[in-house]
Chain A
């Protein structure tokens, strides 16, 4: 097991190197020039050139890439072209809101979607099953920003229960933190709930047909015992896999959700950086997201052993 973990961690290095090369190359060939954005309308072409030179953007690709990789290896992600702040500082400033949003959404989604899927499978073909599947279709179909605006309208503007926008740091207090994150988490969780509920239902339906479930019933096991102890545990591997894959959905959705609810997270940082062509920030954030995604997948793989003792690494 330990050797497997080490192997997987080492395997992330070439993956990250490829991501780094890919991101750097894409930014190099993509149109846009931060020097022109900085210089503004009044600048002469000579001014723009001078700014480009002062930012080091006039140097050859390989030199810039080599320097960037060397700095990354030394723990230095560079300095934002616009703010003059280190990229690591900017990421540190933004990581808590995004992490909070994703964790809360994950907790919310799993705690709602898994029981929903289990109940839908148990009550297959009934009104409850159709309602759950209907919700799943709705969750997939309605965009995050529409859900966000509707929630803000009802719960912030009309009922005045929750704030419209913003983020309060966890250190300020749990309830202020939660107050700001409830609406964004529900908005972002919609798609995720739909995805997990559908997979849970499908997997549970398959498991509930198995012989060992019939045996458990014959032995007089209770319904909840059968569903959650026998069936769900055996259905857990695909569900956990989907939860892991869904992290990518969450990262993508966080960009929109953070904009709608004005949460100062990594999603908005990425969008702002892309619009301004703040290359060091884009590279830093994309690299971080890739690393998180690789790490989550590793954790999911390790979690398989908890649910299915037959899996060994």
Chain B
């Protein structure tokens, strides 16, 4: 008999208080995907901070499983004056964790702070004349021109607009807030926060969930757990062991290599929870040789086989990854492969010939790979192998993510500390629409690192923004894809699914665009 079994048997013989058993059963022990270092979802875009924010804060409106925007804190909204005014009304009885009522002025302050940092909101903001509180429960957007995308911006998941008390939301958007006071289903237990080890949330008894069933991030956000406890376990093997022994209940991002091990355990469920996959991105530096030459970019694209990249990241896991040979998220309304033939060549010899034809003269290529980021590192190594086989003069620089994010800022030639190629991953949500598709921007110095410049892409993006409906947006999206495949601001590398793992006694897990813990319970 195992020591623990013996101990458990002895303890079972004792008259244990029922409330204690219940409390343990209603605590979900979670291994999050990263360390929670900041509590401010406006100050940083870290996904782990966003997940914390979904526990603590509420949204005015939110995305359902189909991506539609539905009311959350808002009872509803009215569009008036031919789309030049939107009036939102808050649900009755909403309260912050400090006991104060949620008022329209809190929403106005929160929206203004969020809009200073969210790229989507920044695109729309020139059309916003004013956001003003009308009374305690109503606030209004006054617009210079109609904004059909306003709801989508407010309800997006990528950079959500969370509502905070006005006294906190009035903090400068570039300064970190010091308190985590929201009106969401769980309250943050600040005195138990030990960054790098543990973060704890307790059920907020004053939360009034919507009555509709949960649907993505929309519907009733009912807190069924008393506590959610995050324990930071940075070593994946240790995390897998902790899941196996039952020391932890939920693992947000298990490493793909360890999925077969977890699946063999009957007490552990491994399933896809996120609605979107993670997309691989190969980004060129458009300012420096050799990738300032579009012919050379196209030659590399001809050699790319997305399947090699995805196998390197997610292995041969069944349904673990898919190819997606377009710039928009596969399975979303704008997804298309117009002009994507170049990604279907997948031929080294043809790519080598194209490289020669484009005039490649042995210029040095510096590929910077982050060794501490397994997925991005795997993508980088596949490209490194590809470039070597193409006969390019490659220098592979293996470093850590912290160094990479600084080096990628450099616009200098490679001899002066610059770079030629970097890789990253991005959630499917962020690539679904041109308005927040970061890697599709081609506005030169203001574009994302790599700084591609193409007036046609920018013109088409503007055209999409003013397209009134999906029928008119789709041809623009096709033109954008076609142009992107000619200019190649980046090479799409396919996408992989990131499943989560949880103990079988955890119930109520549902699919959503982000990792959230409402409606879940533990037997």
Q: Say whether A and B bind each other.
A: yes
- Residues of A whose CB lies within 8 Å of any CB of B are 31-34, 36-45, 47-48, 50-51, 54, 80, 82-85, 90, 93-94, 149, 152-153, 156-157, 159-161, 163-166, 259-262, 264, 268-269, 272, 274-278
B residues less than 8 Å from A42 (CB atoms): 45, 118-119, 159, 436, 438
| 20 A/B residue pairs, CB under 8 Å, sorted by A | A31-B399, A34-B402, A36-B405, A40-B44, A40-B45, A41-B424, A80-B37, A82-B37, A82-B195, A84-B38, A84-B176, A85-B195, A90-B195, A93-B194, A152-B241, A165-B247, A262-B234, A262-B242, A264-B194, A268-B196
B247 pairs with A264, CB closer than 8 A:
no
Given A152-B241, A160-B4, A262-B242, check contact A36 B406 (CB 8 Å).
Answer: yes
CA distance A242 to B109 in the complex (A): 61
A264 pairs with B38, CB closer than 8 A:
no
A residues less than 8 Å from B46 (CB atoms): 40
A259 pairs with B402, CB closer than 8 A:
no
A157 pairs with B117, CB closer than 8 A:
no
B405 pairs with A37, CB closer than 8 A:
yes
Least Cβ–Cβ distance between B83 and chain A, in angstroms: 27
B241 pairs with A82, CB closer than 8 A:
no
B residues less than 8 Å from A275 (CB atoms): 372, 400-402
B residues less than 8 Å from A45 (CB atoms): 409
A161 pairs with B4, CB closer than 8 A:
yes
B409 pairs with A157, CB closer than 8 A:
no
* Chain B minimum-CB-distance residue to A164: B241
Give the top 7 A-B pairs by smallest Cβ distance, nearest first.
A40-B45, A264-B197, A82-B37, A33-B406, A164-B241, A32-B402, A36-B405
B196 pairs with A264, CB closer than 8 A:
yes
A residues less than 8 Å from B242 (CB atoms): 164-166, 262
B422-479, CB < 8 A from A: 424, 426, 436, 438, 446, 448
A residues less than 8 Å from B159 (CB atoms): 42
A82 pairs with B38, CB closer than 8 A:
yes
B238 pairs with A157, CB closer than 8 A:
no
Residue among B178, B194, B231, B233 making CB contact with A84, cutoff 8 Å: B178
B226-248 CB mask vs A (1 if < 8 Å, else 0) is 00000111110111011011010
Least Cβ–Cβ distance between A119 and chain B, in angstroms: 31
Least Cβ–Cβ distance between A195 and chain B, in angstroms: 25
B238 pairs with A164, CB closer than 8 A:
yes
A residues less than 8 Å from B237 (CB atoms): 149, 260
Given A42-B438, A160-B245, A161-B4, check contact A269 B196 (CB 8 Å).
Answer: yes
B345-388 CB mask vs A (1 if < 8 Å, else 0) is 00000000000000000000000000010000000000000000
B44 pairs with A38, CB closer than 8 A:
yes
Assess whether B198 is interfacial by the CB under 8 Å rule: yes
* Chain A minimum-CB-distance residue to B4: A160
A33 pairs with B196, CB closer than 8 A:
no
* Chain A minimum-CB-distance residue to B436: A42
B390-410 CB mask vs A (1 if < 8 Å, else 0) is 000000000111110111010
Contacts A33-B405, A84-B178, A264-B196 aside, 4 further interface pairs with beta carbons under 8 A come to A32-B400, A54-B174, A259-B235, A268-B196
Residue among B195, B232, B406, B436 making CB contact with A31, cutoff 8 Å: B406
A156 pairs with B245, CB closer than 8 A:
yes
Least Cβ–Cβ distance between A52 and chain B, in angstroms: 10
Least Cβ–Cβ distance between A74 and chain B, in angstroms: 22
Given A41-B424, A42-B119, A156-B241, check contact A83 B234 (CB 8 Å).
Answer: no
* Chain B minimum-CB-distance residue to A268: B196
A161 pairs with B2, CB closer than 8 A:
yes
Assess whether B175 is interfacial by the CB under 8 Å rule: yes
A residues less than 8 Å from B234 (CB atoms): 259, 262, 268, 272
CA distance A61 to B406 in the complex (A): 18
CA distance A303 to B239 in the complex (A): 42
B residues less than 8 Å from A41 (CB atoms): 45, 424, 426, 438, 448
A48 pairs with B409, CB closer than 8 A:
yes
CA distance A39 to B244 in the complex (A): 36
B residues less than 8 Å from A272 (CB atoms): 35, 37, 196, 234
Least Cβ–Cβ distance between B423 and chain A, in angstroms: 12
CA distance A83 to B426 in the complex (A): 25
Assess whether B141 is interfacial by the CB under 8 Å rule: no
A residues less than 8 Å from B77 (CB atoms): none
A262 pairs with B409, CB closer than 8 A:
no
Assess whether B43 is interfacial by the CB under 8 Å rule: yes
Given A33-B405, A152-B238, A164-B245, check contact A39 B37 (CB 8 Å).
Answer: no
Q: Which of B117, B239, B245 has the most CB of A within 10 A?
A: B245
A residues less than 8 Å from B231 (CB atoms): 166, 262
B residues less than 8 Å from A152 (CB atoms): 238, 241
* Chain A minimum-CB-distance residue to B122: A44
A residues less than 8 Å from B239 (CB atoms): 262
B residues less than 8 Å from A90 (CB atoms): 195
Assess whether B3 is interfacial by the CB under 8 Å rule: yes
B residues less than 8 Å from A31 (CB atoms): 399, 403, 406-407
CA distance A45 to B443 in the complex (A): 13
A residues less than 8 Å from B118 (CB atoms): 42
* Chain A minimum-CB-distance residue to B400: A275
